[in-house]
Amino acid sequence: QNSPSPEELHAFDREHFLHPWHDMNAWRGYDNMLVEAAQGIYLYDETGRKFIDGPGGMWCVQIGYGQAEMAEAIAAQVLKMPYASPFTNVTQPGAILAKKLADFAPGDLNNVFFTTGGSTAVDTALRAMQFMNNSLGRPEKKMILAREKGYHGSTYLAASVSGKERDVTKFDMESRLVHFLPNVNPYLRPDEMSVAQWCDAKVQDLEEAIAQLGAENIGAFIAEPILSSGGVIVPPEGYHKRTFDICRAHDILYISDEVVTGFGRLGHWFSSQAVFDIEPDIITCAKGLTSGYLPLGACIISDRMMERMTHRGEVLFSNGYTYSGHPVSCAAALKNIEILERDNVLAHVRDIAPYFQERLARLTRYPIIGDARGAGLIGCIEARLSKDGSRLEDERKIGAMIDQACHDRGLIVRPLINMCVFSPPLVISRTQVNDLFDILGQAIETVC
């Protein structure tokens, strides 16, 4: 039987495949790229055309595509034992991976709850907070502080703490429990304000929210070390440590959402402690944990919190998935970690990131680029929007225009309104970094 032609595949997709974040106005009008193959940092379409994968899948393909060892490890686990219920069984990949993650995580974060991805890891973290406070006999302490432009996932609770306007407009999100702190993006600070003063102001936003809502009503603060999907917002230096200390002083749990920043994206297994000097109560991770070869996430909980979850009363934490700690996903994660360790990928990121950031910063030489920011192997360019809004509609499409110009030259980026973001596979070489930024520069020139 002949396999369907590219045209047929496009038709099946248009007719039947509901893509994430589907634009309902473009209903059945999608004509996304057909990805036929992938190798290293490149994607190939059905004609064999090669593209640098700027977004690294969705911030996840750390070791690059086409790693035969991954295929072998996955196949071996499928043949040996593809599934065992996590409710009652120990499996070799699950147990070893849990131990590994506990070793990588800072301090006493030793308790790993495996999930199906990032959203379910965040959901688990928030449910654990609720459960803990109910166990401690303080059911009112459940509000969640989150941040404008944060993104934590698409399950109901994770979406409820996501602060991107587009996430909430047509849903009835959980709003009783959630309070959003204003945008922390230093690029938005008034001209007369230094970054240090901006940091003071953002810390004060947290203090004021606690004063207004009452610490006795707030269970957790959830924060991405770098707000990734919200436009690669790197909070000002010192912000994380100061907000962490305030949370600790008020007995508010600190949840560090490392779904993007974990597994080497900033040159470390986790960035919370290594980069930002904090030891959260919970770290959530996913994506780079398996380099995207299979779905898997984890919610890593501190001993201190576990003790309080079992403090008294009801101790059944009724939260779990059929596929928690799926043996095949765990085997993929273990092989991914082995490759990251063996090939010194984290050291490579620490080595190449300054050059990546230097090339990124140079893009502000184009007048249209208002800001070029990032950290580790994450970058974002933000086009200026005119203050009077007169050309706003056109300008809001600049991300898509730059994306198209990049695509024409063999580079994929991720457009977000007037921004483009990218987070290439961590194995990217210096020459490939040059290729990426050369193409990006040419694309910006055509749009200017």
Binding site for ligand PLP (CB under 6 A): 117-119, 122, 151-153, 224, 228-229, 257, 259-260, 286, 297
CB of 295 to ligand PLP, least distance (A): 7
What is the smallest separation between the CB atom of 423 and ligand PLP, expressed in angstroms? 10
| Least distance in angstroms from the C-beta of 259 to ligand PLP | 4
Q: How far is the CB of 152 from ligand PLP (least distance, A)?
A: 5
- Please give the Cα distance from 256 to 273 (Å, whole number): 10
Going through 206-334 in order, the beta strands assigned E by DSSP cover: 218-223, 253-257, 282-285, 297-302
In the bound state with ligand PLP, the residue whose beta carbon lies nearer, of 260 and 401, is: 260
Residue 21 or 387 with smaller CB distance to ligand PLP = 21
Kindly list the distances between the CA atom of residue 443 and the CA atoms of 163, 399, 401, 438, 447, in Å, as whole numbers in the listed order. Answer: 30, 11, 9, 9, 7
Nearest to 207 by CA among 224, 182, 185: 182
Core vs surface per residue 82-99: b (16+ CB within 10 A) or e: eeeebeeeebebbeebbe
Closest CB to ligand PLP among residues 117, 425: 117
Nearer to ligand PLP, 223 or 405 (CB): 223
Query: Given the complex with ligand PLP, which of 121 and 405 has the nearer CB atom?
Result: 121
* Amino acid, res. 344: N
In the block, residue with structure tokens 């686990």: 77
Q: How far is the CB of 228 from ligand PLP (least distance, A)?
A: 5
In three-state form (DSSP H/G/I as H, E/B as E, the rest C), the secondary structure along 130-189 is HHHHHHCCCCCCCEEEEEECCCCCCCHHHHHCCECHHHHCCCCCCCCCEEEECCCCHHHC
413 burial type by CB count under 10 A (0-12 exposed, 13-18 middle, 19+ buried): buried
Nearer to ligand PLP, 224 or 403 (CB): 224
**Shortest distance, position 410 Cβ to ligand PLP, whole Å:** 25
CA 124 – CA 158 distance, rounded (Å): 9
**CB of 150: closest distance to ligand PLP in angstroms?**
8
Task: Indicate the residue among 40 and 117 with the shorter CB distance to ligand PLP.
Answer: 117
CB of 438 to ligand PLP, least distance (A): 28
**DSSP code of 289?**
G
CB distance 264 to 346 below 8 Å: yes
Nearer to ligand PLP, 91 or 229 (CB): 229
For 99, 132, 135, the CA distances from 107, given in Å and listed in that order, are 14, 20, 24
Q: Is 228 helix (H, G, I), strand (E, B) or coil?
A: coil
Instruction: Identify whether the C-beta of residue 134 lies closer than 8 Å to the C-beta of residue 317.
Output: no
Tally Cβ neighbours within 10 Å of residue 347: 11
Evaluate whether 432 touches 52 at the Cβ level (below 8 Å): yes
**Least distance CB 57 / ligand PLP (angstroms):** 11
Given the complex with ligand PLP, which of 63 and 401 has the nearer CB atom? 63
Minimal distance, residue 117 CB to ligand PLP, in Å: 3
Nearer to ligand PLP, 168 or 201 (CB): 168
